[in-house]
Amino acid sequence: LNHILSRAFSVQLERVEATEGELWHPSVQKCILRDFADGAKGDPLGVIYLDLFGRPNKFPAFAMFTIRCSRKIPGFLQQWREARAEEERRGLVGSKGSPHGECDRLLFEKEVDEESSIDQLPVIAMVGSLEASGSAATRGGIKAMAARAVGGLFGGNSNGKKDPTKAKAGKGSPSSPIQKGGRNEVGDIASLEFSNDVRLSHNQVETIFHEFGHVLHAVFSKTKYQAVSGTRAAVDYVEIPSTLMEKFAYDYRVVQLFAKRADTKMTIPKKIFDEFRASLALTAGLDAELQAIYSLLDLELHSDKVEKYAMEGQGKSGASHWTAKVMRNIESEHSSFPPVPGTHWPSRFGHLATYGGGYYSYMWCKLYALQIWSTLFAEDPLNNEAGTKLRRQLLEKGGAQDPRVLLHDLLGDDISFDYKKVIQQLKEV
């Protein structure tokens, strides 16, 4: 990711030491996204917590959570003094540190006065459910060796040198895991060096890139109000940055920078990668069909027909009866395969609750992400001019402007809002 970030966006992800009590689990890593665009000298753009490994009772999927939005803070010094005084009153300052003490320190790297309006530093958490592999996995949790995957993917120095921001060792060490309940639960992640030996499937890489697209949207945002900061945007638009980032994982010019055999360090041959991409075309139609079925079910269950369905389902096993009926009707009409009796896949369709009628945006946003990629990045995916344009004209705007205006400003007359015309371009994917 740092290859993309530094070359296309002029930013760098840097691992930093967390204050005592700041992290909610030893496997979480804290990073700062630093800006080097337009003469900037590593100015902090945001704090990003990487919590990428699964563990018992943890949120089971990949997601991005905004802990604190970016926004303009007028009269910053007075507000900071009041917040600091409240933290001191509550005993949050001192040996355990302030929850946002590091952010406050970073803000003061810039000179401010009593009348200054300053950008609030966003704080983001990116979570995942990666599993440790090989000898690094135990039933008790993730050992230190497995956790090196996080550093290798997100922050490993390309020159192979030790990372200068590596945190000091805590209570444990890679050879002496932290003890909990009489078992080795997790190694001391803070004591590790970054490693480039990362073993992930392509699907996992694509998912990480997708979520980091949301992270960039949140961190790059420069809106006046936090209500329209970053991903707080129209659902028809909010998946464009994330879907666009996925495209980098399918471009060999990017993939060859990090996809290497663990034993020989040999870069994945272009022929093999091209064959892999070609194989995806075999099921591309079925994948699109499945996404359409998901979207149709989501729209139907959040339509004004729900009350009618619920009334019909009274006395017939409640919601599970009528939702299954709706599901079967949609599958019968739109699926290439008949419904399977006794199954009820909507029970694992988590987006029904979190997107509430907006799941279609994944397919919808894919159309616009494709146009952005084709116009700005297809010729050179690491083109800094293209990355800067995307950052300034789209990502920094958050949800503060009409998406159609933002897309037109970004691509000019090259943008098309005719979905039938754009769908034809999907054949090129």
Closest residue by Cα to residue 330 from 293, 365, 295 = 293
Closest residue by Cα to residue 127 from 47, 45, 185, 212 = 212
Residue 184 DSSP SS3? strand
Cβ atoms < 10 Å from Cβ of 330: 19
- Residue reference for tokens 């080795």: 184
How far from chain centre, in Å, is Cα 157?
21
CB 211 within 8 A of CB 126: yes
CA distance 77 to 247: 42
Conformation bin of residue 54: beta by default, left when phi > 0, alpha when psi is -120 to 50: beta
Burial of 28 (0-12, 13-18, 19+ CB in 10 A): buried
Residues 6+ apart with CB under 8 A from 226: 69, 70, 71, 120, 232
How far from chain centre, in Å, is Cα 379?
25
Burial of 200 (0-12, 13-18, 19+ CB in 10 A): middle
175: enclosing H helix or E strand = none
| Max Cα distance, the chain (Å) | 68
CA distance 388 to 81: 35
CA distance 153 to 196: 7
**Is 86 an annotated catalytic residue?**
no
- Per annotation, catalytic residue among 14, 185, 211, 246: 211
CA distance 296 to 348: 16
CB 140 within 8 A of CB 184: yes
CA distance 371 to 367: 7
Mind telling me the catalytic residues? 211
